[in-house]
Chain A
Amino acid sequence: MKKVIEGSMAVAEAVKVCRPHVISAYPITPQTHIVENLSQFVADGDLKSQFVNVESEFGAASVILGASATGARAYSTTTSQGLLLMTEVLFNIAGLRFPVVITCTNRAVSAPINIWNDQQDVMTIRDSGWILLFAEDNQEAADMHLQAFKIGEHPEIMLPVMVNMDGFILTHAFEPIEFIDQKMADEFLPPYKPELYLTTKNPLTFGILAEPDWYMETRYRLQKAIEASSDMIEEVADQFKKTFGRYQGGLVEKYRLDGAETVIVSMGSVVGTIKEVADELRDKGKKVGVLKIRAFRPFPKEAIYDALKNVKNVIVMEKAISLGATGILYDEIKAALYGKPSQPKISGFIAGLGGRDIPKESIMKVIEKGEAGISDNVFVDLKENLIGGK
């Protein structure tokens, strides 16, 4: 059954059917509607979770860490400054191999303070060992939560998963959403039964000190686990389709790539606009396609090369930058193609920072530039009068 609901409600409904034992969060715009909805479910008795209101995002991440260590399914959600405040715990959760799920309602990072969307926040934790998934629309965001728990909790993976959805653009947008049936959800996502957890029946020590003789191998195994999650992400997407009949792609989604000469690579909600542009250009006979990155970690370099190897112009458009270097996705796309037999031309564009709108005309211009030559690290739609220009 489809209903027109807000993105945050769609996520809350999806989290509900995952039956998390523990939810802990701290309010921050634009994440608030998700936690408000979840706390209402708990208050109404529709969701039997322990809901812990904490003193900070640092506390929220620590509470779900402790809950997961005890064998519970645990969830939190945050964004921007909240994610930065969680950072130390996020690295710790991955190192301890606790498969919690966090929704990040992507938002710009201060200063200047800005509550609107870009994806700079999540990029700061890309090296933390979390599986990072990006949703294009609210149906995908909702469905991704069931997939996230299933991927992370697999005994061979045991990793935390972050579902990224663009703040406001998705969280506050009303779209028709297919509600997830609890029975089907239970069938798809069985109860979490970890092999090792804190219990007096088998007293174990978690969070040990690893000296130089031991540390490196734990990081190697973390790397192997996150690499192994690539197959799991694909497999779980297929399983999801079998149960629910919907498929949004695994690691990447290929859109109109057949014979494409120009491909725009991006993540998140802007992909929807880019697809529209591609459709319009295809109608005019131009061979334009879109490669949507659903999983940024593990980084699907084989799938990316496979999708881009016969393309002339690759255009990476992203809502984040590694200041002092370059666009992060741009950099990684280049690295994925480095040394390969086929070498498309790759351009990088930074767009939509701090909630700046990305209209179709801007995407058209980006495509023109990317086809004309190589654009390196170009900021889209800068206001010249604000940067000392004319």
Chain B
Amino acid sequence: MAKNEVTIEKKEKEEIVESLLTPGHKACTGCGLALAARTVMNTAGKDIIVTAATGCLEVFSTSYPHSAWKMPWIHSLFENSAAVAAGIEVALKALGREKEAKIIAQGGDGATADIGIGCLSGMFERGHNILYVCYDNEAYMNTGVQRSGLTPFEAWTSTSPSGKVSWGNPTEKKNMPAIAAAHGIPYVATASVAYLKDLEKKVKKALEIVGPKYLQIHAPCPLGWAHEPYDTIKVAKLAVQTGLIPIYEMENGVITSVRKITKKAPVEEYLKLQGRFKHLFKKPGFEKELERIQAMADATIKKFNLM
């Protein structure tokens, strides 16, 4: 065994020991969400208290009698992650413990953009000092890939299937970052598991800002998107490189940074890797649908000045 190999092994072990998400959890192979959550937590460090909405995250990491987390964690319900976090924040203040921990609330796209949007809006509007993280895998994955408000245009889901008279989900993604920003909160950002350094930077920055923060992380789900587990990063990268998923920061309502597309990819390249879009390449008249999606990507590129 070469000397440097021993060193690497030791370093990996140390990283595992230090990680706030410990091995042994039940996430699927190639899970974008697990990668995103681990990165958020490890970047934030152990002095945090976190809430989680019902969904894959709590199911794969906190099945009694095990918990994969090494920081204080609470899961209450599907729709109240932001409100429970608000309760924690005011309790820390009332108990004189506000310096003890930073608070991170988490939810999937369904918990955030659909069922929990009321509690989230309340948390933003009241100005709680909380980082809200939305893990966006574009459908209700925990219940078997049903459509959410963040499911993209013409994606197949089990409740927006393609069929003889349907091309899949008829609507575009709800613009959650814009909704968050409309509350006048100081920091809104999007990120992707394809660019972990960028994600780390944004988590660090967000946690230094006082007030409500919103971070939406695009996180592929191999099961729900029907792509190979080893393609998670490739798929995530293509989502960004096509322009379909813009990566940017908004501070006090103004866009302050965008991740430029280094090598523009046609949307076909992104869609083809995923079973949820396979009907777009089969049914007669598909070229027109692809053109529509390409036009959406181009519009986003233009809107955010991504190139």
Contacts and interface: CB of A to CB of B under 8 A. Distances in A.
Q: Do A and B bind each other?
A: yes
Interface of A: 21-22, 24, 48-50, 52-56, 58-59, 62-72, 74, 88-89, 92, 96, 198-211, 214
Interface string B64-79: 1101011111111101
A242 to B, nearest CB: 30
Interface stretch (B41-49, B258-266, B283-291): B41-49
Residue among B47, B88, B90 having the largest count of chain A Cβ atoms under 10 Å: B90
Contact of A52 (B76, B77, B126): B126
B299 interface: no
Contact of A49 (B49, B59, B70, B94): B94
A198 B51 CA distance: 10
B58 interface: yes
Nearest to A207: B75
A207 B58 contact: yes
B83 A63 contact: yes
A74 B94 CA distance: 11
B294 interface: no
Interface residues of B, number: 46
Contacts of B67: 205, 208
Contacts, number: 166
Interface in B15-55: 46-49, 51-52
Contact of B91 (A50, A56, A89): A50
B87 interface: yes
A21 B91 contact: yes
Contact of A89 (B51, B75, B76, B88): B76
Contact of A203 (B58, B72, B83): B72
A58 B46 CA distance: 30
A65 B119 CA distance: 13
Contacts of B95: 21, 70-72
Contacts of A50: 90-91, 93-94
B77 A92 contact: yes
A210 B84 CA distance: 20
Nearest to A50: B90
Given A59-B119, A208-B67, A198 B72 contact: yes
B101 interface: yes
B87 A70 contact: yes
A209 B67 CA distance: 10
A320 B302 CA distance: 61
27 contacts: A22-B91, A22-B94, A50-B91, A52-B86, A58-B80, A62-B87, A63-B83, A64-B87, A65-B80, A66-B85, A66-B88, A72-B90, A72-B94, A89-B80, A198-B49, A199-B100, A200-B48, A200-B49, A201-B100, A203-B46, A204-B73, A205-B72, A205-B73, A207-B58, A208-B62, A209-B64, A211-B64
A22 B90 CA distance: 7
A21 B96 CA distance: 10
A65 B90 CA distance: 12
B159 interface: no
Residue among A59, A67, A202, A205 having the largest count of chain B Cβ atoms under 10 Å: A205
B75 A208 contact: yes
Contacts of A199: 49, 72, 97, 100-101
A168 B262 CA distance: 67
Contacts of A92: 76-77
B51 A66 contact: yes
Contacts of A96: 76
Contacts of B63: 208-209, 211
A357 to B, nearest CB: 38
B90 A207 contact: no
Contact of B92 (A59, A70, A201): A70
User: Which 10 pairs show the lowest CB-CB distances between chains A and B?
Assistant: A66-B87, A62-B83, A207-B75, A55-B122, A21-B94, A70-B91, A205-B67, A66-B84, A62-B80, A72-B91
Contacts of A24: 87, 90
Contacts of B83: 54, 58-59, 62-63, 66
Nearest to A51: B90
B79 A58 contact: yes
B74 A203 contact: no
B118 interface: yes
A65 B87 contact: yes
A76 to B, nearest CB: 10
A205 B100 contact: no
Nearest to A64: B87
Interface string B102-127: 00000000000000001101100110
Given A21-B95, A64-B87, 16 more contacts: A21-B94, A54-B126, A55-B125, A62-B77, A62-B119, A63-B86, A67-B91, A67-B94, A70-B49, A96-B76, A198-B49, A205-B72, A207-B52, A207-B58, A208-B62, A209-B63
Contacts of B64: 208-211, 214
Given A62-B83, A67-B91, A205-B69, A88 B46 contact: no
B76 A62 contact: yes
Interface in B131-170: none
A66 B79 contact: no
Given A58-B118, A200-B48, A206-B74, A63 B79 contact: no
A201 B49 CA distance: 11
Interface string B162-197: 000000000000000000000000000000000000
A207 B63 CA distance: 10
B143 to A, nearest CB: 14
Nearest to B119: A59
Given A24-B87, A53-B126, A59 B80 contact: yes
Contacts of B84: 62-63, 65-66, 69
Contact of B119 (A21, A55, A68, A203): A55
